[in-house]
Structure formats: structure tokens, C-alpha cells
């Protein structure tokens, strides 16, 4: 390619087998690397310039382009244009022509690099030893009688991973201790300045949900439903009932069993409509929710589908050509979705669904959904109890601080009243001393008579009595009460150990 012309950037294509792929940063695949030797054409031009550019042996073609290339290597020098064009060989050009110096000089590596550090993987700590049966049984004895909803013990994160977690994992598999109908649930709660006063672990036992035998027979279809739960009809009208007509009887049957078991656990099933749409929407969204003591969950029923590829219709092809502007570009793939009868029941973020291997899995394993909700309810109860303990402890500190501040305010009020009474007495004594000096100084008798009448009306000790209690408003002294409460400590024992 002649110098001075930019190569055309081609669109990247797949490299054929047997060809070297283009390196990153190069515009096309067949770009050669930098030349390390002169080609035959360049050698011919260099010999011609070395001979003094004789007019009778001018090289064929545009020799000036090759001369410019030689000038770039520092082999020749060019001056002038057109008729005044002249080229002379340099000393380096003579050495390269004689073969005593290479065309490309090897650069000297003068940079000094520090030794590369050897990266070794961090050592993996050995797993904690498996606790013995005696240790596991001792842990279970400590967990049997907690002070609250769950057993709580102070521990750091390292102690939880190395001591508590191995023991609790081993205890979770001991059905002879915790019972076949119970599940051990535990969690590490790191310290948080708003929620958790200290890092601790809590452990609790959750009873497995066992369905009523009659409800199990209804779920499997062995018994008919005489009267569905009232919320089943409400749910069928909502937007979360995405089921084909063929699967609707089974979906209603499973919802009836789910709602009955939810109420048997002490929770409620409620129907709600979104009030935000009352003013302008003709079809207000409605929901059926399972409400526990601490949370509320939306219920959804979804039927799975199978996808089958199909040929596009004439309208879809026309739409494709309209938006792509080309009839040669292949259209995207189109699929037909067919409901397959496999259901999925979702309560909040928990779900249980049928599978290909077990297309009727919901009939027998619907209790797994309620087991998950029961574990969440236990965790919420533990957090709510901890918050209640913190709030009550804080309220006790505030009440104690309010009593201390009220005592300080009363003492200040009594002292202020006494100082005012003493100041009034000192004023009376000073007036008496003034009048005595006035009598000795020969003051006008009329003034002395007037002052005697004034002093006679004053009785400073007649109004001396115990003052009434000072008025104390907690809101006015809230800043001081908060400061005093922050310095108090609570003697309530939060932890089981």
C-alpha cells in the first residue's frame, strides 16, 4: 500500500480455518508486521542512490516512494521536488548496504523492574472438629428453657463459626433430642447500632406443620369439597389466578386446603382492594393475603407452560420487514405457549411447585410452604421481642433519668426560694442600719417619721414558709433527660448466657 493512504476499515468477520486471527487494534487481518530487512525493490533503489542517481539507470516505477521509505529508516536523505528532486545515501545506508549493520536496531533494555512477588493462596483454616455427643446433649439442655421466644447467647462471629455452628448443625440432625416433629432454627445476629445491642446467636425450635387428615384427602382429590373457603372465590376473580380452565378445579382445591391450614395455625386470610385506583379505575386490583402476626403475604397461583416453535404469520413477517427495512434479514423465532397443568403456589417470596418428575407434588408437599412461613415468623418474633426488650430498657432509663432531673429541679427551686428570702431579710437589716445612722446624723424629723411608718409595715419573716413543689414538665427538660439516660446502665439481663 502506498505511503500516505489510510487503509479502509472492514467489518469484523470470522477468521477462516488455517488463517491467523487479527490482533486487537489492527484494522484488518492481513496487516504485515514491521519489516526487519529491505525487499528487492528497496535494495535496487538504495544501490541506485549509492551510485549517485545516474540518469541512464533509473529504477522502473515510482522509485520516489521507495526512497521515502528508505529515508524513514535513515538510509538516504531527500531534498527538493519535481525536477529539483535529489537523494543522497547516508553513512548508515552504506553500512546497511554492505551488510555490516542491521536494518532494525535492537533496543537496549535499560528499565529496571522489581522482582515479581510470588502470590501464594491464603491458607485455608482446617474445619472445626466434629462435636461429641456429650457436647451436643449439653447444648440441648441449655436450649430447653429459654427466657423468651428463643435462646440467646452472646458470641462473636468467629466464636459462632468455630464453636456454635458445628454444635447446632450436629444438634439439628439429632431427632432423638429435638423430636421428629420439630425443626431447629438458628441465626447469628451481628451488632447493629439501631437493632442489635451486641453480637449474639439465637436458637429456637419450630414445630413442623402437619395437615389435618381431612384436608390431606381434599388436597389429593380423594374427598370432595362441600363448601369452598370464602376467599377462594375472591381469589379466582383477582389478577393472581393465572390458571387454565382445565387446571382451575385442582387450583381451587389446593387453595381451599391452604387457607384452612393457615387459619388453623392462628393466622388470617384477608381480601384487599388497592385503594389508589378507586377514583379513576373501573377494574380495581384486588389481592388475597395471608397475614401472620408480623407480616402480610400476597398469594399467587401460576400455571407453567410449554413452548413450541412455530412459523411466523404473514402479519408478523410484514411487521418484521417494516421495522428492519430488509427482506433478507431472517426473522426472530416465534413460539406458541401451551399450559401444561403444572401449578405453582406462591405466598410472598416462598413458593412450592409441581415438577416434571412429580406433576402432582403440591398435593402432598404443600406443608413445606407453611413450614417456611413458620420459620420466618419465629425469626420475626425473636426480633420483635428483642426490640420490645430494648424499648422497655430505654423507657426504664428515661423514667429513672426523669426522676433524677425532677429531683435536681426541685432542689434548685428550694435553694432559689431560700436565697430570695435571705436577700429580703438582708435588705430589711440594711434599711434598719440606714435609719439608725439617719437618727444619729440629725436628719429631718418628718423624714424619720415617714421612714418609721414605712418600716413598720414591713415584716420580712412573716412570709417565710416551705415553698410549693416546682412545676416539672418532661417535654421542657427532654434534652437533659436524654443526656442523663445515655449515661445510665440497665441492670436487666437480656441474655440466657
Query: Any bridge partners for residue 305, and if so which?
Result: 339
CA angle 444, 445, 446 (to 5 degrees): 90
The ranges assigned to domains in the chain are 1-104, 133-207, 213-365, 383-486
Which residues in the chain come in under a pLDDT of 70?
1-34, 193-195, 276-283, 491-492
User: What's residue 62's pLDDT?
Assistant: 85
Q: Buried b vs exposed e over 175-198: b needs ≥16 C-beta within 10 Å? A: eebbeeeebbbbbbbeeeeeeebe
- pTM for this one? 0.65
Give the pLDDT confidence of 410-451 residue by residue, as tens digits.
999 999 999 999 999 999 999 999 999 998 888 888 998 999
Nearest-5° Cα angle at 281, 280 to 286 = 135
Smallest CA-to-CA distance from 386 within 150, 47, 111, 106 is with 150
The pLDDT value recorded for residue 18 is 41
d(CA 439, CA 437): 5
Distance CA 186, CA 202 (A): 6
- CATH class of the domain defined by 1-104: mainly alpha
Strand order in the sheet with 151-154: 151-154, 200-207, 182-189
SS (H, E, C) 319-368: HHHHHHCCCCCCCCCEEEEEEEEEEEEEECCEEEECCCCCCCCHHHHCHH
Residue 107 pLDDT: 75
Question: Cα angle vertex 269, ends 266, 275, to 5°?
Answer: 140
Which of 93, 321, 346, 115 shows the shortest CA–CA distance to 240? Answer: 346
Amino acid at each position: 500500500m502506498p505511503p500516505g493512504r489510510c487503509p479502509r476499515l472492514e467489518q469484523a468477520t470470522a477468521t477462516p480455518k488455517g488463517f491467523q486471527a487479527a490482533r486487537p487494534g489492527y484494522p484488518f487481518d492481513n496487516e504485515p508486521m514491521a519489516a526487519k530487512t529491505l525487499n528487492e525493490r528497496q535494495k535496487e533503489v538504495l544501490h541506485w542512490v549509492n551510485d549517485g542517481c545516474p540518469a541512464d539507470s533509473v529504477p522502473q516505477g515510482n522509485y520516489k516512494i521507495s526512497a521515502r521509505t528508505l529515508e524513514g529508516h535513515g538510509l538516504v536523505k531527500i531534498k527538493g521536488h519535481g525536477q529539483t528532486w535529489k537523494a543522497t545515501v547516508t553513512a548508515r545506508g552504506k553500512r546497511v548496504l554492505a551488510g555490516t549493520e542491521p536494518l532494525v536496531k535492537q533496543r537496549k533494555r535499560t528499565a529496571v523492574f522489581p522482582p515479581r512477588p510470588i502470590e501464594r493462596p491464603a491458607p485455608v483454616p482446617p474445619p472445626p472438629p466434629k462435636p461429641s455427643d456429650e457436647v451436643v446433649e449439653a447444648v440441648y439442655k441449655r436450649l430447653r428453657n429459654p427466657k423468651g421466644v428463643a435462646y440467646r447467647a452472646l458470641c462473636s462471629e468467629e466464636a459462632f463459626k468455630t464453636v456454635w455452628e458445628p454444635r447446632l448443625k450436629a444438634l439439628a440432625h439429632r431427632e432423638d433430642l429435638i423430636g421428629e416433629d420439630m425443626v431447629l432454627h438458628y441465626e447469628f445476629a451481628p451488632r447493629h447500632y439501631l437493632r442489635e445491642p451486641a453480637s449474639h446467636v439465637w436458637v429456637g425450635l419450630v414445630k413442623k406443620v402437619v395437615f389435618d387428615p381431612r384436608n390431606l384427602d381434599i388436597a389429593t382429590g380423594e374427598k370432595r369439597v362441600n363448601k369452598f373457603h370464602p376467599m377462594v372465590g375472591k381469589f379466582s376473580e383477582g389478577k393472581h389466578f393465572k390458571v387454565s380452565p382445565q387446571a382451575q378445579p385442582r387450583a381451587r382445591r389446593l387453595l381451599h386446603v391452604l387457607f384452612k391450614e393457615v387459619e388453623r395455625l392462628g393466622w388470617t386470610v384477608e381480601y384487599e382492594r388497592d385503594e389508589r385506583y378507586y377514583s379513576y379505575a373501573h377494574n380495581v386490583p384486588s389481592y388475597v393475603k395471608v397475614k401472620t402476626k408480623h407480616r402480610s403475604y400476597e398469594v399467587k397461583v401460576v400455571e407453567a407452560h410449554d413452548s413450541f416453535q412455530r412459523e411466523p404469520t404473514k402479519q408478523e413477517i410484514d411487521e418484521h420487514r417494516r421495522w428492519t427495512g430488509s427482506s433478507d434479514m431472517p426473522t426472530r423465532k416465534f413460539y406458541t405457549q401451551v399450559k401444561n397443568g403444572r401449578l405453582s403456589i406462591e405466598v410472598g417470596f416462598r413458593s412450592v411447585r409441581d415438577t416434571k418428575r412429580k406433576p402432582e407434588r403440591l398435593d402432598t408437599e404443600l406443608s413445606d410452604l407453611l413450614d417456611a412461613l413458620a420459620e420466618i415468623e419465629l425469626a420475626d418474633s425473636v426480633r420483635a421481642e428483642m426490640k420490645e426488650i430494648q424499648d422497655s430498657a430505654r423507657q426504664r432509663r428515661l423514667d429513672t433519668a426523669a426522676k433524677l432531673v425532677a429531683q435536681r429541679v426541685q432542689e434548685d427551686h428550694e435553694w432559689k426560694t431560700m436565697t430570695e428570702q435571705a436577700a429580703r431579710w438582708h435588705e430589711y437589716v440594711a434599711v434598719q442600719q440606714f435609719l439608725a445612722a439617719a437618727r444619729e446624723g440629725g436628719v429631718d424629723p418628718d423624714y424619720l417619721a415617714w421612714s418609721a411608718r414605712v418600716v413598720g409595715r414591713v415584716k420580712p419573716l412573716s412570709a417565710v414558709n416551705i415553698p410549693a413543689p416546682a412545676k416539672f414538665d418532661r417535654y421542657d427538660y427532654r434534652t437533659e433527660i436524654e443526656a442523663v439516660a445515655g449515661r445510665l446502665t440497665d441492670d436487666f439481663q437480656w441474655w440466657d448466657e
